[in-house]
Amino acid sequence: MIDSMTAGAQRALQRSASLARLRGASQIEPIDLLAALMDEGESLAIARLLEFQVDPSHILNRLGLPEEPESDSLDRDEPNALPHSASLRSVLSEAIGHARSVDRGRGVGTEHLLWGLASSGGSAAEVLEGAGLDLSRFVNQLESSDQTQLEPIPFGADDPTPDLSAQIEAVDIGRILDASANRAQEALRVIDDYIRFVLADPMLTRRMKEVRHRLGETLRGLDDDLRLTSRDTLGDVGTHIMTAGEQDRGNARAVLTANFRRATEALRSLEEYTKLLNVWISGRFESLRYDLYTMEKLVVAAVVAHRRLGDTRLCVLVGGLPTLGDLTWVVGEALAGGAEVIQLREKGLSDRTFLERAREVRILTAQAKARFIVNDRPDLARLAGADGVHLGQDDVRPRDARRVVGSAALLGISTHDTEQLERAVLDGAAYLGVGPIFSSKTKDFAALAGLEFVRRAAEISTLPWFAIGGIDEENLDAVLDAGAQRIAVSSAVVQAESPRAAAKALRAKLDERG
């Protein structure tokens, strides 16, 4: 990753490590990188900010960084010995993707790092916005201005092999590129319509728009005149050949799948045939194809999650009860009261006892046709036959959990801010925990995300998510008013005099609000 960066970007990363150590942090955060970029002096990142009339010194003041020791014990060029936080890794990934979308051979510069910070949200973006930067305009204008203006590549120019000087061969290649470009654009529009109007997901819609924009920019590198003059729809033998599968679209999901396949195949054809003309443009088609593979994973995961969890409203977290009998009674009462998901969260038990309890809960939830989730432990979730596993930010990585529980299991991830939420979606979560909202009787929290995070989650993603943390019948209206549709509760049901009545009251209010 570091090797692909310019010297200025590498210095900024090294400096961010020093700043993180200065504030006593165990890992480098996006705010450290932002401070390092502002302290870099003359750079493209600084130049971009000045174009938007934003003073870098104001950003440094807002960060409120402590002064370095007089001994200067923190060397500005000290090697990076601290790990990057998940948020910073996300920023760097966005920066690299942005740079490569413009030119795969181009180094990642300070301007790309700044773009990643501005576009990834979180605390660094909030500091930039607080200093007077219009984030939306900045991201869009920087992306637009950073796009290399692609001059159409004439067939046969500066490429002695293969010889495309013969007009007939140029026209043949032009027909292939024209047909593939049309297929790719049409398929992406069909996919975009599904994401916008069926899933109605803002985050996925934004990412799909970026893919379509990049395809349009890349296609400008081809000769539009030759594409159009080479077009021969009437003479295309493929237009008259149909298979049964082409007409078989049983549902909207089938339309979605078919068009992802159509788009990736078209991009592969564009990638291969533009190698005859310009390897750089071919590389951009290749990058788009890989990005579309990721988009397909995210969209299909969202479709499956909505199908399996779309109607669920109430999740009850159980655990810490003295006996197996207490556990099974509470679970049975919660299910009878209308809980649709039971999540088993146990601490301090031996693995054998945990598994015994999990298997009993599996039986009860299966009888009630409810979902059963095991907290933290992918291995025990699989052994118990649970529907899925729920992970916290410090548990095993989603990719590793998926290897244990398999592709069909539900994978939930706790998130405490927007950066974690977006990362969880990219990691393939089937559902999310959003919180903590209020202080809880069953779990201690270092900080509360509050209702503001609920509002942001409602704006960012329509992937199934459960508001969690101290929710009860008294504060439920505030949570629903903030945009939540699903909740996860513990003490409000588990510690109630009648768990069945408590669950029934919560479920009634959820159903009443629709």
Contact by Cβ (8 Å): 317, 491 = no
**Residue 185 C-alpha from the chain's centroid:** 23
Does residue 345 carry a catalytic annotation?
A: yes
Catalytic one of 89, 443, 455, 509: 443
Does residue 443 carry a catalytic annotation?
A: yes
Cα–Cα distance, 15 to 67 (Å, whole number) = 14
Does residue 119 carry a catalytic annotation?
A: no
Contact by Cβ (8 Å): 430, 406 = no
Cα–Cα distance, 223 to 155 (Å, whole number) = 8
- Contacts of 244-248 with CB under 8 Å at 24 or more apart are none
Collapsed DSSP state (helix, strand, coil) of residue 120? coil
Residues facing residue 315 across a β-bridge: 341, 488
Catalytic one of 18, 101, 180, 414: 414
Cα–Cα distance, 280 to 39 (Å, whole number) = 34
Residue 436, preceding peptide bond in cis (omega within 30° of 0): yes
**Residues with Cβ within 8 Å of residue 495, at least 6 apart in sequence:** 441, 442
Host H or E run for residue 317: strand 314-318
**Residues with Cβ within 8 Å of residue 50, at least 6 apart in sequence:** 56
Instruction: Please state whether beta strands 410-415 and 314-318 pair in parallel, antiparallel, or not at all (unpaired).
Output: unpaired
Cα–Cα distance, 167 to 461 (Å, whole number) = 51
Catalytic one of 209, 345, 359, 402: 345
State the catalytic residues.
Answer: 345, 414, 443
